[in-house]
Chains A and B, each alone.
Chain A
Amino acid sequence: MSLLHLAIISPLILAIFIPSLHKRAPKIHTGWFLLPLPVLLFGYFLSFLPGVINGEAAMETLSWIPSLGIDFSARVDGLGLLFALLITGIGALVVLYSIYYLSKEKEKLNQFYVYLLLFIGAMLGVVLSDNLIVLYAFWELTSFSSFLLIGYWNYRERSRYGAQKSMLITVFGGFSMLGGIVLLYLMTGTFSVSETIAMAGEIVGHDLFIAVLLCILLGAFTKSAQFPFHIWLPDAMEAPTPVSAYLHSATMVKAGIYLVARLTPVFAYEGLWIWLVAGFGIITLFWGSFSAVKHTDLKGILAYSTVSQLGLIMSLLGLGAAALHYPEFENGFYTVAITAAVFHLLNHATFKGSLFMMVGIVDHETGTRDIRNLGGLMTIMPITFTIAVIGSFSMAGLPPFNGFLSKEMFFTGMLRAQEIGFFNMDTLGILFPIIAWVASVFTFLYSMIIVFKTFTGKFQPEKLKVQKPHEAPIGMLISPIILVSLVVIIGFFPNIVSPLIEAVMASILPTLLAAGMEFDVHIYHWHGFESPELWMTIGVVIAGILLYKFMPRWTGIYTRMPERFSLNSAYDHGLAGIQTGANRFTNAYMTDSIRTYLIYIFAFFVLILGATLITKNAFALDLANVAEIHAFEVVLVVIIAVGSVSILFAKSRMTTIILLGAVGYAISLFYAIFRAPDLALTQLVIETISVALFLLAFYRLPKKWHHERMKFKVSNAIISVGVGLIVTLIALSAHSSKAFESISQYYVENTYTKAAGENMVNVILVDFRSFDTLFEIAVLGIAALGVFTFIKLRMSRGKEQG
């Protein structure tokens, strides 16, 4: 096991020790034991940076199930490294924040940190794994640990609801992704991501290609909360705020982004991929930002804002994939969308993490997150206010913060969409910049709401649960301060991250690079007055300010759409509908009546065999091999037929039993004339015994029993006639199509010489095939024991009667 593997699973290993550490050292906050690990890992992953920037990818393989082609191979390239740095870096900050956020006395810290470590390990596994099956395994572990973290306060009903919802949706996507992975394996014969990418050109035309694409995208969209699967994310806000900050803004929701970016080289040659990724991204962007405005809960706003920003990144990835269609094109014209996506991914993690922590501080210090109750906190919590301003302005895309830069590049990417000359991009592509601009106006709007509704206006202490709110302790402020510092630093000096972005782009668009070439990313603040992006940003600000000023006048549109048409209620009703539907369906066919079940069984029997007979054209009638019919046989057949039919019309049960006995004895006569003396003897005795047992049962019937003829039912008649007909047809066909000679000749020849007997039947029973007999007598013994236990051990019924 290499150091890299150890680094990936080290959080899982530490998770084993957390409960005992928590127990041994109850005075120390358990989070302190955790903190060194992500810091160390961050340092470790930083050591890969020089190599990755030079275009070298570290690769370590560990055999897991080699016979199935499943190896735990870890690969650190630009994309993986960016995510690994985000996971460990923000992980460390979140752990530090959680130490001050979660109370040592009130919370079950051992559980919380075990879940969190599971999540960190799983997330590192997802982004660094080069094997799709291993990636899937870690992918589900992120879903699972996220489920546990959302439901951390499991005594709350909403937490359980949110956890279940996120579990159902992400696991639904996860399964679909597994299906995609397996189909992909069928096409390529390998689970390795890098080998699959190398084979990308060969599989484009394959029949399964579109199916794989859809399956994988479904996985990515559910995980990354894309429309219409975004509904789990706002409900996941019931989790503790450090969890929301970490999972639901910086890391887990970007797993889908990672997957799309990772597999872009495989699928981007297909126009559908570009349209789906870009289309769903832009819809998510608009819907998320539009929905965020109506919320009054700060975390609700941030949740929808996350949804919308994820949509932004997704749509950029989709449009950037078009770059692969222009290998000879001027470097950077279309790839700017990918640059923007990667850059915004990084920026979003910084400002969204800080905003969540800010909201956590406000919640912690005032007791509420509702913007209707908050206000005027600016002077009380100046540091928190500063964090909120920087984070929100960056999110809104205002200079000089990093959000401005990625927003400008976003507009650039969107504007270039319509210049892509294929897949109808030249005509429908005009929609992209328009929707993007409108969504940015709403983004601006909710960013302003977060800052100004919370921190300015009138201070309303009577509405707060905490009587005297004050600034948070410094420990809680360190993490958001570090994050907003990054926001500012990247904002002013964006080119310090450009080598990393170049490396990431090299792993998203590997085929564009000739040997020794590198992407050349330079991020500028100033595009000049002639660039349309600047005017779009100015337009966003003006429109946003206008909308903010006149908010009460137009927010009525949110109430226009009734709640029951929302996606959430569709989900709720769908879930309830599945349950009631399944319940109704089961109740409809599970009638508890043995009669109904027999109808199913026999009807199925008739249908399946009849259909086989007809479709396989299997019916055959061959009279060449038929023996002569004697008068004696005709008489016996008539007796049996008359007896059987009379049973159906008999009024008394006694008559039925006698008739059944008569049929049985007639059959033993048949055995006699067909020269089976052993069978005839046994049949006679057994028939006698069973008739006696029937009579026994008959005399035990309750006294009030009415003698009634069996009721006639058409369905029963049809099915029974059908069964009889089918069996007859099959018997005739089987007899008519004998494929080979019987093996009975062997027994005839060897009964005396090998088994010293002359009664062939008995020799077969006790010698040639005595193994069957052994178990038949075992069956008899079990039957006897069964009768004995049924009759002797009637304890409960005896007590009831007694």
Chain B
Amino acid sequence: MKTNNVILETATRILLFIILVFAIDIFFAGHYYPGGGFIGGLIFAGALVLLLITYDIKTVAKFLPFNYLVVIAVGLLFAVGTGIGGLLFGKAFLTHWFTYVDFPILGKLSLHTAVLFDIGVVLVVIGTAMAIIQTIGESD
């Protein structure tokens, strides 16, 4: 007999987006406030784990058709690519560049290549957490 998980499922639907937004906020705020790639990635992975708990692995895999090992590779490429970018402009490996731009609605913001590096970190952290949890979960 299948247990009815309707409360959990409903709660997940609401909570998932709150958690994801929180994760993205933590990630982007990282340069100015506590947070950053590591913790943002972990919270993001936490949201996905909530999905895994609510549904089963196959369902999650159906609407998130990622191979998480590829995600790790892409993350590492981001990080290394940012470093090589520095080399292309005749600077040392992993030299970052930033500027301030006035956006129409958002106002004055800084654009920073460190964010690209942090995206790499986030992707690797999400990929690692999910790859470990999924492989352990699938194994029997």
Contacts and interface: CB of A to CB of B under 8 A. Distances in A.
Interface of A: 677-678, 681-682, 685-686, 689, 693, 696, 755-759, 761-763, 765-767, 770-771, 773-774, 777-778, 780-781, 783-785, 787-788, 791-792
Contact of A784 (B34, B43, B72, B138): B72
A677 B49 CA distance: 24
A766 B76 contact: no
Interface in B76-118: 76, 79-80, 83, 93-94, 96, 98, 100, 110, 112, 114, 117-118
A693 B133 CA distance: 9
Given A757-B32, A766-B37, A774-B80, A781 B136 contact: no
A778 B76 contact: yes
Given A759-B35, A784-B128, A777 B120 contact: yes
5 contacts: A755-B96, A758-B31, A759-B31, A777-B121, A785-B131
B42 A784 contact: no
Contact of A685 (B39, B73, B114, B121): B39
B93 to A, nearest CB: 7
A777 B34 contact: no
Nearest to A683: B39
Interface string B40-56: 00110010000000000
Given A759-B30, A766-B31, A774-B80, 20 more contacts: A689-B42, A756-B31, A758-B33, A759-B36, A763-B31, A766-B36, A771-B83, A774-B79, A774-B94, A777-B75, A777-B79, A777-B121, A777-B124, A778-B76, A780-B124, A783-B132, A784-B132, A787-B131, A788-B69, A788-B132
B135 to A, nearest CB: 5
A697 to B, nearest CB: 10
A360 B132 CA distance: 76
A778 B30 CA distance: 21
A791 B135 contact: yes
A435 to B, nearest CB: 78
A791 B37 contact: no
A757 B31 contact: yes
A678 B38 CA distance: 9
What is the interface of chain A mostly: helix, strand, loop, or mixed?
A: helix
A640 to B, nearest CB: 23
A686 B124 contact: no
A682 B132 contact: no
B24 interface: no
B114 A757 contact: yes
Contacts of B46: 685
Interface residues of B, number: 47
A683 to B, nearest CB: 10
A774 B86 CA distance: 14
Contacts of A689: 42, 129
A685 B46 CA distance: 9
A757 to B, nearest CB: 4
Contacts of A681: 26, 34-35, 39
B131 A685 contact: no
A682 B39 contact: yes
A784 B114 contact: no
Contact of B31 (A762, A770, A781): A762
A689 B37 CA distance: 17
Given A757-B32, A766-B117, A783-B128, A771 B135 contact: no
Nearest to A788: B135
A788 B79 CA distance: 22
Given A678-B36, A766-B36, A770-B94, A787 B79 contact: no
The 9 A-B pairs of least Cβ separation, nearest first, read A677-B34, A757-B31, A777-B124, A762-B36, A784-B128, A784-B131, A756-B98, A781-B72, A780-B128
A791 B120 CA distance: 26
A785 B30 contact: no
A792 B96 contact: no
Query: Which of B38, B127, B129 has the most chain A CB within a 10 Å cutoff?
Result: B38
A330 B139 CA distance: 98
Nearest to B120: A777
Contacts of B34: 677-678, 681, 759, 761
A685 B42 contact: yes
Nearest to B94: A770
A695 B1 CA distance: 26
B27 to A, nearest CB: 10
B114 A767 contact: yes
A689 B49 CA distance: 11
Contact of B136 (A677, A682, A696, A773): A696
B42 A785 contact: no
A785 B132 CA distance: 8
Given A762-B30, A771-B93, A773-B121, A784 B127 contact: yes
A521 to B, nearest CB: 78
A695 to B, nearest CB: 11
A784 B68 contact: yes
A759 B32 contact: yes
A634 to B, nearest CB: 26
A774 B37 CA distance: 12
Nearest to A758: B32
A686 B76 contact: no
Contacts of B138: 791
A689 B93 CA distance: 33
Contact of B35 (A678, A686, A774, A783): A678
A758 B93 CA distance: 23
B44 to A, nearest CB: 11
Nearest to B130: A784
